[in-house]
Amino acid sequence: MQAPRTTASHRAFGGTVAFHAHDSSTCGTEMRFATYLPPAAERAKVPVLLYLAGLTCTEETFMIKAGALRLAAQLGIMLVAPDTSPRVARLPGDDAAWDFGLGAGFYVDATAAPWSTHYRTYSWVTQELPDLLRACFPAGDRMGVFGHSMGGHGALVCALRNPRVFSSVSAFAPIAAPSQCPWGRKAFSGYLGPDEAQWRPYDASALVTDVGWDGPILLDQGTADKFLAEQLHPHLLAQACAERGVPLQLRMQPGYDHGYWFISSFMEDHLRFHHEILSR
């Protein structure tokens, strides 16, 4: 497997933040991602935690804004932040809206033209990127995934469908039932077509019912999030988890909104949650 190209590298908390690009066979174009290697990675392989970002974000957003690096250095966790869509291969209308196309891949494998040619971020995140990390970085066998908003949706879906790849999962304000909200219905219609049966494998609330999850899920949601009522629907995920017997810890955080002030406030809890599982 060809090693990725490193475009920038910075020392941080005794470890290294770096930004990479590689020629993805899955997406048929260049894809980008960021890594943080903790000091422990200089001596041995370490557990890996993927963070899937939300709408309009890039591979840089998490590393800059989430406040995760200091504790990741202490815990010895490798952090990986994939980009949220292809960037180099352009498609007609890919920048016409902020919630579809560029920066809004929704972590699906598109089946509708023209998106199916490059927008295959589900397989990239669950198959190609983990293989690349283990081949080219000091990445251990244990891997977790978490994310925010669109990325929270992606984290839940990727984990629920791939329990052999991801041992732990959590989310900040995820789009928990995308088939039942405007963001999700727009994205799924465009990427997957009008047949709603084809959407179900990418809907976390439906997936919990269909396949369950053997372990805990941590979910933080701000009560002052302006997207809560119309777009996020954590209550539907909670209902599905209760019916299936999946131990969901849904924490409604009073006064917090949808942004990175909220995410950074509870980042430590999520890193420790994943570390406890990944270090077993």
Could you tell me the residue ranges of all domains in the chain?
Answer: 5-278
**Average pLDDT in the 69-76 region?**
98
The dihedral region occupied by 41, where left means phi > 0, alpha psi between -120 and 50, and beta the remainder, is: alpha
- Residue 225 falls in the annotated catalytic set: yes
**Burial class of residue 254, CB neighbours in 10 A (0-12, 13-18, 19+):** exposed
- Residue 149 falls in the annotated catalytic set: yes
Packing angle, helices 204-211 and 150-161, rounded to 10: 20
**Cβ atoms within 10 A of the Cβ of 155, count?**
29
pLDDT in tens, 250-279: 999 999 999 999 999 999 999 999 999 999
Q: Does CATH place domain 5-278 in 3.40.50.1820? A: yes
Q: Which of 149, 167, 170, 205 is catalytic?
A: 149
Q: What are the residues whose beta carbons fall under 8 Å from the beta carbon of 168, sequence distance 6 or more?
A: 49, 144, 145, 159, 215, 273, 274, 277, 278
* Contact in structure between 171 and 146 (CB atoms under 8 Å): yes
* Contact in structure between 46 and 40 (CB atoms under 8 Å): yes
In which element (H, E) is residue 209 found?
helix 204-211
**pTM confidence score:** 0.98
3-state secondary structure at position 79 = strand
Three-state SS annotation for 12-36: ECCEEEEEEEEEECCCCEEEEEEEE
Q: Which of 258, 270, 274, 275 is catalytic?
A: 258
Give the pLDDT of residue 1: 76
pLDDT in tens, 7-43: 999 999 999 999 999 999 999 999 999 999 999 999 9
pLDDT in tens, 81-139: 999 999 999 999 999 999 999 999 999 999 999 999 999 999 999 999 999 999 999 99
- Alpha helices for 76-127 (secondary structure H): 121-123
What is the C-alpha separation between 89 and 248, in angstroms, rounded? 38
Q: Which of 83, 94, 109, 225 is catalytic?
A: 225
pLDDT in tens, 202-238: 999 999 999 999 999 999 999 999 999 999 999 999 9
pLDDT in tens, 168-185: 999 999 999 999 999 999
CA angle in degrees (0–180, nearest 5) for 194-203-206: 110
**Average pLDDT in the 144-153 region?**
99
